Amino acid sequence: MFRTLYSKLILGYILYGLIGFLFVAFISSSMTYDLLVDGQASELYAMAGRIADSYSEQTVEGEALTSVHREMEGVAAFTGTSIWLVDDDGHILMDTSGSREDQLIRGFDPGAERSSYTIGSFYGMFSSDMLSVSAPINYGYSTGGYVIIHYPMSQVLSNTTSALNIVYIACIVLFLLSLLLLVIFTFSIYIPLKQITRGAAEYAQRNFDHKIDLKNKNDEIGYLADTLDFMSQELAKQEQYQREFIANVSHDFRSPLTSIKGYLEAMLDGTIPEELREKYIGRVISETERLNKLTEGMLTLNSLESGSNLKRSSFDINRTIKDVCAANENACLSKNINFQLTFEDESEMVYADYGKIQQVLYNLIDNAIKFSSSDSTIYISTSVRQRKVFVSVRDTGCGIPKDSLKKIWDRFYKTDSSRGKDRRGTGLGLSIVKEIIQAHGENIDVVSTEKVGSEFTFSLPLSDPTAQSPGA
């Protein structure tokens, strides 16, 4: 029945108020009753003692007792009590109410009473419960009678009820005032939580445009709302990225597959003559290599993201750069491109994964060759600062548009200029470069100006001087 947090809170609040009220009523009624009975009995006993002393003094002095009787009647009328004068045998000598004079109290034994007061019918003399106290009248060293005062218990209960009513009203007022806490909880916690729950439901339905609008965002609930909003934005970006990723993969796979299919069909139906088949088989192999390169790039990225361990070792980064430049010599000859190498020291030992750093250099130098104009120079340098080696690869090519600088690290991203110069690229090279450098805990930056060129700079940690080179 009660499923929501608010309904549970209301139920708990009602139960708390009810149980608290019953507890207070039970404890306070018992304590108030005992307190009023004890207090009333003490007052009656003091009153009876004063009247008994008056009788003793009058008897000793031998004066008339008229004034004492009038005093008893006045006290009885004022306090609403019934005062008796009783002798040792239990005969009622005087009753302020005048209804029980000359009657005998059967079984009367004041010495048998263990407490200062009794509650009951007082030896059957009353039809309702009375609070009764007695005080002896002493004549010298003997007791000549007793003064007994009776107070209706109905009046005690009435006084108890009046006192408890004050307690009950105070409890009700406190309970109503505590409703303010419920109101504060409703507006400061429940309503914001309800908005957050609604927002989470919208995000679950992939409605990432929904915003959780809270008036107060300076507490933990506001922080939670901001976190969910941030999460929805990231999910939206991720969803957009997945759509673009699928579109790019489909496009880059479809193009070589279409070419391979077209060449093979042309060979089968005789469109391509026998003497040209070797040429077109070479093209099929080229497209197959392109697919293989694309697949290997995706596998490389996946292995880097899955946290595959780096095989770190100490090696000479300057020697590695020379080897990579030598491997790209044929590509440079066709465009008459030269390398200018500037090293701070003859040898710079770094501690990194040799194979992956070699791949970074291949990708960066390949891009520099691809986008450099003919008869140009590619500048590669290394320098040491703060226990790190900084490697720079700079070309004087077409440069990267300003609005594309942040996107070049995305998978499959190609600028318009790159598509025009080399439609056969996979768009994964720089993504792989960045993932490898970040896997080493380092950074890579790019500075580029259109029609001037681009410079990529990354860092690597220096090797321990005592470490051995792998002999690259």
DSSP 310: P
Looking at the domain assignment, is residue 24 inside a domain? yes
pLDDT at 252: 67
- The whole model's pTM is what? 0.48
Boundary of a domain, candidates 272, 302, 332: 302
Specify if 225 maps to a domain. no
Does residue 14 share a domain with residue 155? yes
pLDDT of residue 342: 92
Instruction: Kindly state whether residue 380 falls inside one of the protein's structural domains.
Output: yes
Distance CA 153, CA 157 (A): 6
Show which of 154, 176, 198 is a domain's final residue.
176
Indicate which CATH number applies to the domain containing 366. Answer: 3.30.565.10
| Successive 10-residue mean pLDDT values, the chain, 472 residues | 68 81 80 86 88 69 60 85 87 84 83 73 88 84 84 88 84 81 79 83 81 75 81 81 72 77 84 82 82 73 64 91 88 87 90 88 89 90 91 89 78 56 61 86 90 91 64 41
pLDDT at residue 322 in the model: 92
What is residue 109's predicted lDDT score, i.e. its pLDDT? 79
In a domain, 220, yes or no: no
Sequence-distant (≥ 6) Cβ neighbours of residue 468 within 8 angstroms: 314
Burial 375-400 (b: 16+ CB within 10 A, else e): ebebbbbbeeeeeebbbbbbbbbbbb
167 and 43: one domain? yes
DSSP conformational letter for 190: I
Give the pair of three-digit tokens for residue 259. 């070419």
Beta 118-120 vs 388-394: how paired, if at all? unpaired
Structure-token pair, residue 42: 């003490």
In the prediction, which pLDDT does 340 show?
Answer: 92
DSSP annotation of 189: I
Q: What are phi and psi for residue 444, nearest 5 degrees? A: -135, 135
Residue 295: give the domain boundaries.
Answer: 259-302
Do 133 and 49 belong to one domain? yes
- Please state the domain count of the chain: 3
Q: Does residue 217 lie in a domain region? A: no
In the prediction, which pLDDT does 61 show? 44
Interatomic CA distance for residues 110 and 90, integer angstroms: 9
> Of 302, 337, 367, which one is at a domain's C-terminal end?
302
